[in-house]
Amino acid sequence: MNVLITDGVDPQCGQILSQNGFDVTEIPKISKEELKKIIGGFEKLIVRSATKVTAEIIECGTNLKLIGRAGAGVDNIDIEAATRNGIIVMNTPGGNTISAAEHTCAMILSAARRIPQATADMKSGNWNKKKFMGIELEGKTLSIIGLGKIGREVASRMQAFGMNTIAYDPMIPDEFASHLNIELLPLHENFMRADVITIHSSLNESTRNLISKGTLDLMKQGVIIINCARGGIINESDLADAIESGKVSAAALDVFEMEPVNSDNPLLKLEQVIATPHIAASTTEAQEKVAIQIADQIVEWKRSGKLEGAVNASAVELAQVPGVQAYLTLAEKLGATLAQMAPLHANKMTVRTSGEFLQQFNEVITAAALKGFLDVRQSKDTNYINAFTMAKESGIILEQRFEKENPDYTNLIRIELENESAKRMIGGTVFGDKEVRIVMIDQFLVEFKPEGNIIIYNNTDKPGVIANVTQLLLQHNLNVAYIALSRDEDKKVAMTAIVVDGDVMPELIDEIRNVNGVAVTNLVSL
């Protein structure tokens, strides 16, 4: 149970771990090459933001089981590489929330009133009242890009200054934002309406260079931009140009694309820029909180197996809850069935759950559905930890929806898969404790166990079709175990699911497709 702690994490972290039986090694500053050499001897690694835990480092960590981040941001850790290697990544998302929010508010106020510039000018022996004319924040519009914990804390504080708050966050429901007196708007409308823009999103492929020439052109003349989140979200060269042109009147930055910042960074040469060296979370209270929190989480994991703060293993934790396992089995079966029925190039998946019991398990059910789907569609091993990563790499556009209730079923899982020209849907439930059933396919209500070999076809609703299909099954010496029938009387079409004993040859499926009246035909093997 040996642990390596880097980056000068508060000593209380190591003390707590040592007191609970861990063998702790602390190296405050470590080079990439040195880390590569020694990481193979450790089961756990704890870092702040300085150490870059790359895929290369992770591959060298042959005994690593956990990477702990004493703080919220995990973009210095290659989560996908960790996930592929079965390594849990754990962070402490709430430990520095208040410190980061307070620093952001200080940056907004400093930019609006040019306090650092006035201070520096006075220390140079000047008294220039007119030079440092500021603006009032009351009545101005603040745009918050990313409405997580820090973004919400910033909103409440700046609302106290009389600012109108708008935001962009695709994961937050309108009702939730409205409760916080925040208006959710599309990204481009945020840029167009805001007097001040503050960024509180993580750095990923969709947010890299989010603030660049194209988006800067949308903004108001004289906008103020704040970034205490992650470097790389702002294109620094484009921002410098916008400041020099007067488009941006001020910028306050705590993070940069390259840290430490090179002295030749053009932003540092501009008087309108307020810069701090990535210290938004650097308060005594915050550093103590995150150090104690990450240590306590690791100790609890050792003691009880509870994975608190695990950013890539929530599915593993939730899967242990009594009563959930049958629904996870169902979700996997639904995903696997849909993978064999839907168009090959369908890439948008929507997972819908309904029912009070399922509400808290939407994430793990989605992971199970993805696992079932991807196990069929690709050769790579998929599990609940890496399912979301694998789906993203496969180009799947994923949506998750929860509906409070369904009129026909206490708890229901539905999965939709579509492309530009076609869409398929499948739904299922659990009867009792573990009786897994598929209960709907597209517009048809059916009921059958998702087991074995199942022939599913659509046909014109007319006499003789079932007889002709079952005759073909007889010719291929296949016994019918179960038949589920449904029809759409308005459209005069029907759907049949036939569970058979034995293997189904491809030529049989071709013969069924050629039966008069039969349309879409799929073989599903579970």
Residue 209 in tokens = 């260079």
CA dihedral 465, 466, 467, 473 (to 10 degrees): 120
d(CA 130, CA 32): 50
Q: HEC string of 376-399?
A: HHCCCCCCCCCHHHHHHHCCCEEE
Q: What are the C-alpha distances in Å from 374 to residues 349, 390, 421?
A: 12, 8, 21
User: Who's near 128: CB < 8 A, 6+ residues apart?
Assistant: 118, 121
Residue of 84, 103, 152, 230 marked active site: 230
Question: Can you say whether the dihedral through the CA atoms of 226, 227, 229, 232 is positive or negative?
Answer: positive
> Do residues 146 and 169 touch, judged by C-beta distance below 8 A?
yes
H/E stretch holding 249 reads strand 248-253
DSSP 77: B
Coil, helix or strand for 328? helix
Active-site residue, selected from the candidate residues 84, 103, 278, 437: 278
Q: Point out which residues pair with 454 in neighbouring strands.
A: 499, 524
Which residues sit opposite 165 in a β-bridge?
142
259 in active site = yes
Catalytic residue among 259, 271, 393, 399: 259
Catalytic residue flag (residue 435): no
Distance CA 24, CA 68 (A): 14
- Residue 188 catalytic? no
Q: Point out which residues pair with 199 in neighbouring strands.
A: 145, 227
> Active-site residues: which are they?
230, 259, 278
